[in-house]
Amino acid sequence: MTSPGSRDVVIIGASLAGLFAAAAAATSGSRTMIIERDVLPDSPVARKGVPQGRQPHVLLHRGLLAAEKLIPGIREDLLSHGAVPFDTGTMAWLGEYGWLPTWIPAYETVSATRPLLEHLVRKRVRELDGVTLREGVRVTELQRDARNWHVVCDDATIVRADVVIDASGRGSRLPLGRAADPGCSPRLCVPNVSSHWGAADRVWGGDSSHPGDRPERARHPGRRRPLARRRRWVWRPATDA
């Protein structure tokens, strides 16, 4: 149930940032609409809007705690769908100075595919009171008057909103934020938030059970981590560490 006088929130993008933002907005009793340009799959498969979705992913400990707070039970949900929990202290990391010790307990991490995580989070968010998800619709522009935002979509609809959250990813081409509109009132406008960070991984597998045997190791020192599937390894260049 939304409370009288609650705000209308529009979220652009139904990937993980958008879905978790919707879960947070739902706790405040807002009416929340997520607008996503992709037609969303009803199974855990990669999709066009998240090209890195095919890359191996793990849910780190702090992320897991935050996810569990917004969507209680999501950890159990993941495990019951085949995600693999493991202690990061037992992870095989091969770095510039050799193998890290694997016997010091650290934090729990959940290894799951990116599509599975998104699929389960999306399923739970769809069930939240006050949240609707419009898919197959691309936001093209944001307009505003003295009080409200107007979210312009490529199906010729315009959605009014008190708050707009741009979760359209780092590749977004939407002209949003204070920089895009110097006259924007601080009440309506929030500066963009960037992690200023990027990553590139490479996966390889085969018969070798020891990734240090691979010739790539000698040429490109980097970090390795195991995947949920056996005999597959991730190589991440040391320069992004």
Residues at the contact surface with ligand FAD, assessed by CB under 6 A: 12-18, 35-38, 49-50, 52, 55, 57-59, 63, 114, 138-139, 167-169, 172, 174, 199-201
Closest contact distance (angstroms) between CB of 193 and ligand FAD is 10
Report, in Å, the least distance between residue 181 CB and ligand FAD.
17
Q: Helical H runs in 135-232?
A: 177-180, 215-219
Look up residue 50 and give its two tokens. 């998240």
3-state secondary structure of 63: helix
Of the pair 37, 224, the CB lying nearest ligand FAD is at: 37
Compute the least distance from the CB of residue 9 to ligand FAD, in Å.
15
Q: Do 119 and 132 form a contact (C-beta atoms < 8 A)?
A: no
Say which residues have a Cβ less than 8 Å from residue 29's Cβ, sequence separation at least 6: 1, 2, 3, 6, 130
| Beta pairing partners, 33 | 10, 132
Please, what is the minimum distance in Å from the beta carbon of residue 92 to ligand FAD?
16
Q: Which is nearer to ligand FAD, 12 or 94 (CB)?
A: 12
204 close to 216: Cβ distance less than 8 angstroms: yes
* Nearer Cβ to ligand FAD (31/223): 223
Nearer to ligand FAD (CB atom), residue 169 or residue 221: 169
* Minimum distance, C-beta of residue 130 to ligand FAD, in the bound complex (Å): 20
Closer residue to ligand FAD (CB): 43 or 103: 43
What does the DSSP 8-state code read for residue 6?
A: P
Contacts (Cβ under 8 Å, ≥6 apart) of 54: 46, 114
